[in-house]
Amino acid sequence: MHSINSLLVVIEPHLMESLALKRAKHIACHTKAHLHLLICDKKHDHSALLSVLESSLKSEAYNVTTEQAWHESQHATIIKVQQAQNCGLVIKQHVPDNPLKKVLLTPEDWKLLRYCPSPVLLAKTAQSWEHAVILAAVDVGNNDPEHMALHSSIVDHGFRIASMAHAQLHVVSAHPAPMLAAVDAVYPLDTQLEESYRAECKVFQQQCEIDDSRLHIEEGPADVIIPRVAKALGAVVTVMGTVARTGFSGALIGNTAEVVIDKLESDILVLKPDEMIEHLEKLASQS
């Protein structure tokens, strides 16, 4: 967080309170980052609102600029402006989609997570980050170089937020259940898997300096475990990552981040590995 110089803050005029702006002010207060306020609007009907927000923020000593823009869709507009302004973080308030609409159309926030080259913070709650719990969600079972680099980034961002907010960082990892209860009476598959997973977690703990009391390993689907642990801990931010291969059509985010958006009762920060960011930046430059 400390290395981010500019924040893109998506302002949605129809909302009574901008949780995105609340989070942006908190981050900028600690990092001195520039705030670029964006309203995605075809008609440019919100000049007065942006003028009021800009004046108010400048009176509080924030460095701020504003913009109204539209490029085909909301997520495309956000990405276009993020690239043009070289913003290191996009902050947007998440409003749950109608379940029927979600079945028929891919939600805009999902598309933003899939295609935005920069990290995306989805603000969901007005709860203060100060002296709270920050939760980093990792998949320790995936130890290829790309996943390991992403795990390190997730924990690093978690530590930075915790340091900024005087909060405590916890880490959660969902332990995959074996497909078969056992394949051998002497070497049960579930025991082998659990022992292997625990061993990998020990290595991860040593590398990231996470003690046992702040590491939560549970067996089951990640999209079930992560929201459950987040709720039990009262987490205010959940930091997650996604890995996609550039050979896929477009850039496909892992299902977990999309599925848990509406399940989590915390803000959500989604990160991507460097290879994926480079691919998405190329896509953005071609659009």
Report pLDDT digits (tens) over 250-280: 344 446 777 888 899 999 999 988 777 888 8
pLDDT at 134 over 80: yes
Domain boundary among 103, 123, 143: 123
**In the chain, which residue ranges form alpha helices assigned H by DSSP?**
19-31, 47-59, 74-85, 99-104, 108-115, 145-164, 189-208, 222-233, 255-260, 274-286
Same domain, 193 and 273: yes
Alpha carbon distance 240, 153 (integer Å): 10
* pLDDT score, position 251: 40
* pLDDT score, position 103: 53
Does 128 fall in a domain? no
* pLDDT score, position 119: 95
- In the chain, the N- to C-terminal Cα span, in Å, equals 28
Full residue range of the structural domain in which residue 212 is found = 133-286
Same domain, 46 and 105: yes
Bigger pLDDT: 249 or 89? Answer: 89
* pLDDT tens-digit readout, 13-27: 988 789 999 999 999
Domain boundary among 88, 123, 158: 123
The mean pLDDT of 218-235, rounded to a whole number, is 92
Query: CB of 4 within 8 A of CB of 82?
Result: no
Same domain, 85 and 137: no
Does 192 fall in a domain? yes
Same domain, 106 and 160: no
Does 216 fall in a domain? yes
Does 1 fall in a domain? no
Domain boundary among 69, 104, 123: 123
Alpha carbon distance 287, 285 (integer Å): 6
Same domain, 154 and 105: no
The two tokens of residue 151 are 């795990």
Alpha carbon distance 274, 287 (integer Å): 20
Does 150 fall in a domain? yes
Alpha carbon distance 235, 171 (integer Å): 11
Mean pLDDT computed over every residue of the chain? 84
Does 20 fall in a domain? yes
Same domain, 154 and 244: yes
* pLDDT score, position 24: 97
* pLDDT tens-digit readout, 60-86: 999 999 999 999 999 999 999 999 999
Total number of domains constituting the chain: 2
Same domain, 224 and 114: no
The whole-model pTM stands at 0.87
List CB contacts of 52: < 8 A, sequence separation 6 or more: none
Of the chain, the percentage scoring pLDDT greater than 70 comes to: 83
* pLDDT score, position 35: 98
Cβ count near 97 (within 10 Å): 17
Same domain, 117 and 139: no
pLDDT at 177 over 90: no
* pLDDT score, position 171: 94
Same domain, 150 and 245: yes
